[in-house]
Amino acid sequence: MTDLLRVAMIGHGFMGAAHSQGWRVAPRFFDLPREPEMTVVVGRDAAGVAANARKWGWLETATDWREVIARDDIDVVDIVTPGDTHAEIAIAALEAGKHVLCEKPLANSVAEAEAMTDAAARAAEKGVRSMVGFTYRRVPAATFARDLVAAGRLGEIRQVRAAYRQDWLMDAEAPLTWRMQKDRAGSGSLGDIGAHAIDLSEYITGLRLESVSGILDTIVAERPLLAEGVGLSGTASSERGAVTVDDIALFAGRYGGSGTGYAPLGTFEATRFATGRKNALTVEVSGSLGAIAFDLERMNELEFYDATLPATEQGFRTILVTEHDHPYLAPWWPPGHMLGYEHGFSHQVVDFVTAIVDGNQPEPSFADGLHIQRVLDAVERSSQDGSAWTSTD
């Protein structure tokens, strides 16, 4: 280790816990070129942020993110707030010379994402780095799937099927939270979890969506408001509020840049009403020489089909992605000892810190995040006007 890389995290909800785990654990298993220091965590509720700081290992707390960004002893700003604050915080941090890690989706609109990307480009000229947190890229089985495609094991990519299915909103009386309000979240299942399905499909295939055709729907139109003064687990009040985002998103997409003359099609589903599915992010890629299938609910496994084998030997086989030769796994446990959801956040820290020290652009970049925002916007526009195909440009 050399000198410290001092981190300020803005926000302290669910993603705050996950990011804290990443910052705390990564330097204890990986040989990082600079050691992250969990310097300060910021939240509006002084008592709440203090309790989480003690629990997660942050040295200090604050309630004003602007004051923290202005500090000379902060090198990195990690943004885990709702989407409506991403642009303001990220742009201010970049202009203050801080490296920025921002949770997905990058922003609530294309215009905000464009402003953030422009700020990131200006900051990069001064050696300041930025990255958007599509963490599932760093699940070893998903990274290994990308490696198989890049090595040509699937041949020409012909079709992609991607979905992210959860059921946590099945109860129509579950209270209204910020994730169900468009002014806070930007969109519902489309941006919250559909963005992951889009990004992971593109990451694994190396292709980008150029046009989409889709439909959004809201299954439960209004929900109880939370009683005043309680958290997300608190009781609902008798008052009700409108759900202003989508509960389900279904769309088709066409990829470009395959180099084969054929532009592959993809089908996508994002829903928080898939009864019995808790965190089912799935991507299946079919090619001329083989296929892969990934399921986050079985995150240490990858299904692989080798179509070059004799017909008598063909069939999907399960690869247990726990060997030290698999991506990210060498510093962890002996083969067969599983990783969990939290490990992707440690891998995110490893890649981000390494890129900062090496002077490289970490991936996915804000420009990548902007592209995903444009895809989300195109799906929404397609649903609104009934377009058969809508460009992502």
Domain co-membership, 89 together with 60: yes
Domain co-membership, 189 together with 331: yes
Q: What is the pLDDT of residue 235?
A: 61
Cα-flanking dihedrals φ and ψ of residue 285, to 5°?
A: -120, 125
Residue 43 pLDDT > 60: yes
Q: What is the pLDDT of residue 230?
A: 47
Confidence of residue 211 (pLDDT cuts 50, 70, 90): very high
Give the model confidence (pLDDT) of 63-107 as tens digits.
Answer: 999 999 999 999 999 999 999 999 999 999 999 999 999 999 999
Structure tokens at 290: 């083989």
Parent domain of 284: 138-339
Q: What is the pLDDT of residue 306?
A: 98
Q: What is the pLDDT of residue 226?
A: 83
Domain co-membership, 59 together with 185: no
369 occurs within a structural domain = no
Confidence of residue 167 (pLDDT cuts 50, 70, 90): very high
84 occurs within a structural domain = yes
Distance of CA 126 to the CA centre of its chain: 26
Give the model confidence (pLDDT) of 228-276 as tens digits.
Answer: 654 444 566 679 999 999 999 999 999 997 677 889 999 999 999 999 9
Distance CA 344, CA 342 (A): 6
Structure tokens at 326: 């698999």
Q: What is the pLDDT of residue 227?
A: 73
CATH number of the domain where residue 125 is located: 3.40.50.720
Could you say which of 339, 364, 379 is where a domain stops? Answer: 339
Residues 273-299 have a mean pLDDT of 98
Domain co-membership, 184 together with 97: no
Domain co-membership, 218 together with 89: no
356 occurs within a structural domain = no
pTM of the full predicted structure?
Answer: 0.95
Closest-CA residue to 364 (of 377, 379, 352)? 352
Q: Name the domain count of the chain.
A: 2
Could you say which of 318, 339, 360 is where a domain stops? Answer: 339
Residue 1 pLDDT > 60: no
Q: What is the pLDDT of residue 386?
A: 87
Q: Which helix (H) or strand (E) holds 159?
A: strand 157-165
Residues 188-199 have a mean pLDDT of 97
251 occurs within a structural domain = yes
Domain co-membership, 120 together with 229: no
Domain co-membership, 262 together with 127: no
Structure tokens at 368: 């990548």
CATH number of the domain where residue 144 is located: 3.30.360.10
Distance CA 95, CA 79 (A): 15
CB 290 within 8 A of CB 305: yes
Could you say which of 133, 163, 195 is where a domain stops? Answer: 133
- Dihedral sign from CA coordinates of 218, 224, 228, 229: negative
Residues 190-208 have a mean pLDDT of 97
Domain co-membership, 206 together with 99: no
372 occurs within a structural domain = no
Domain co-membership, 286 together with 194: yes
Domain co-membership, 144 together with 285: yes
Q: Determine the residue type at 34.
A: R
32 occurs within a structural domain = yes
Q: Which helix (H) or strand (E) holds 126?
A: none
Domain co-membership, 174 together with 253: yes
Q: What is the pLDDT of residue 259?
A: 74
289 occurs within a structural domain = yes
Residues 149-176 have a mean pLDDT of 96
Residue 331 pLDDT > 80: yes
Confidence of residue 368 (pLDDT cuts 50, 70, 90): very high
CB 87 within 8 A of CB 107: yes
Q: What is the mean pLDDT of the chain?
A: 95
379 occurs within a structural domain = no
Domain co-membership, 116 together with 162: no
